[in-house]
């Protein structure tokens, strides 16, 4: 049987998502848990796969893994959700044998941007250039095998107390893409960059420009959506809002 598992974590407690030797990572801790309880023998044998590999410091209210196991869904979720862990496991779904969580319908990221000394109207206006299909070579850390052309379906804004909440929606994102976009928008909001400069670099991706990299801690992976619904532990769902509030509150202290 192949299952997909939905989970959350505070990214500040890990050295990133992907496994690294002698470092505590989200992926590494998940595999340890599954092996510890006998749900899998190892990552390779179980065809263990992840939806999103978040950067060090980036948190998630929803990330997804999938693996092959002989354990029932009920026992697996009950065992993992009761584990005293820095990872909150709260949803499960049986999936097709070939299911790979990387291929989601869309992803939703949220960034909490402090509004002090920023021109919000300019930021909102400049963000319009990023929606749609573009070559994001100037707004990502490029990997040789990854196509820099991506489509951002929507960028939404809400202002709440000391933060501008920026929500990004797309099927896929490049490495550092959102944090580099945010860095450019901050420069626009401070009057250090004109929004037309953003448009020029999107139209002419071969002209290299470094817009910098915004901090990782205010970024949260809010959701990864598929063409099916997960089965949830309803008691644990309430903890997601508490986790987001904890992360947001910590940002005010920085």
The tens digit of pLDDT for each residue in 16-73 reads 999 998 899 999 999 999 999 999 999 999 999 999 999 999 999 999 999 999 999 9
pTM for the predicted model, two decimal places? 0.95
CATH 3.30.70.20 fits 2-103, yes or no: no
Apex 228 CA angle, 222 and 230, nearest 5:
60
Alpha carbon of 111 to those of 105, 179, 196, 216, 221: distances in Å?
20, 9, 23, 9, 9
Q: Which ranges in the chain are annotated with CATH 3.30.70.660?
A: 106-203
Active site residue 94: no
Q: Where in the chain is the domain with CATH 3.30.70.580?
A: 2-103
Query: φ and ψ at 77, to 5 degrees?
Result: -65, -40
Q: Which residues pair with 110 in a beta bridge?
A: 167, 220
Q: Catalytic residue among 55, 119, 135, 233, which?
A: 55
Residue 254 has a pLDDT of 63
Query: 63 pairs with which residues across the strands?
Result: 7
Asked whether the beta carbons of 241 and 68 are under 8 A apart, the reply is: no
Q: With pLDDT > 90 as the criterion, what percentage of the chain qualifies? A: 83
106-203 has which CATH code? 3.30.70.660
User: Which residue, 125, 145, 144, is CA-closest to 199?
Assistant: 125
Give residue 155's pLDDT.
98
Burial class (CB in 10 A: 0-12, 13-18, 19+), 115: middle
Phi, psi of 11 (to 5 degrees): -65, -20
Q: Which residues of the chain form beta strands (DSSP E)?
A: 2-9, 49-50, 59-68, 87-95, 106-114, 132-135, 149-160, 163-170, 219-225, 231-232
What would the pLDDT profile of 148-204 be if each residue is shown by its tens digit? Answer: 999 999 999 999 888 999 999 999 999 999 999 999 999 999 999 999 999 999 999
Quick one: pLDDT band at residue 84, thresholds 50, 70, 90? low
Q: Is the pLDDT of residue 253 over 80?
A: no
- In this prediction, residue 239 has a pLDDT band, given cuts at 50, 70 and 90, of confident
């Amino acid at each position: 049987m192949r299952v997909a598992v939905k989970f959350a974590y505070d990214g500040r407690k890990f050295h990133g998502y992907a496994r690294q030797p002698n470092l505590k990572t989200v992926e590494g801790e998940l595999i340890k848990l599954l092996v510890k309880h006998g749900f899998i023998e190892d990552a390779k044998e179980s065809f263990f796969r992840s939806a999103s590999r978040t950067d060090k410091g980036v948190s998630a209210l929803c990330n997804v893994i999938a693996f092959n196991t002989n354990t029932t869904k009920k026992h697996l979720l009950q065992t993992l959700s009761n584990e005293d862990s820095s990872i909150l496991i709260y949803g499960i779904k049986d999936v097709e044998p070939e299911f790979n969580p990387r291929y989601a319908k869309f992803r939703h990221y949220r960034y909490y941007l402090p509004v002090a000394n920023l021109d919000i109207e300019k930021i909102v206006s400049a963000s319009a250039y990023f929606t749609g299909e573009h070559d994001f070579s100037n707004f990502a850390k490029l990997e040789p095998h990854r196509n820099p052309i991506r489509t951002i379906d929507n960028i939404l804004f809400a202002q709440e107390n000391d933060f501008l909440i920026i929500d990004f929606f797309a099927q896929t994102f490049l490495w550092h893409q959102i944090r580099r976009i945010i860095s450019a928008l901050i420069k626009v909001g401070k009057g250090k960059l004109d929004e037309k400069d953003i448009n020029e670099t999107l139209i002419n991706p071969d002209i290299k420009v470094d817009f910098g990299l915004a901090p990782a801690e205010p970024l949260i992976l809010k959701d990864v959506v598929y063409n099916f619904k997960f089965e949830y532990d309803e008691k644990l769902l309430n903890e997601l809002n508490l986790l987001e509030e904890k992360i947001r509150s910590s940002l005010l202290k920085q």
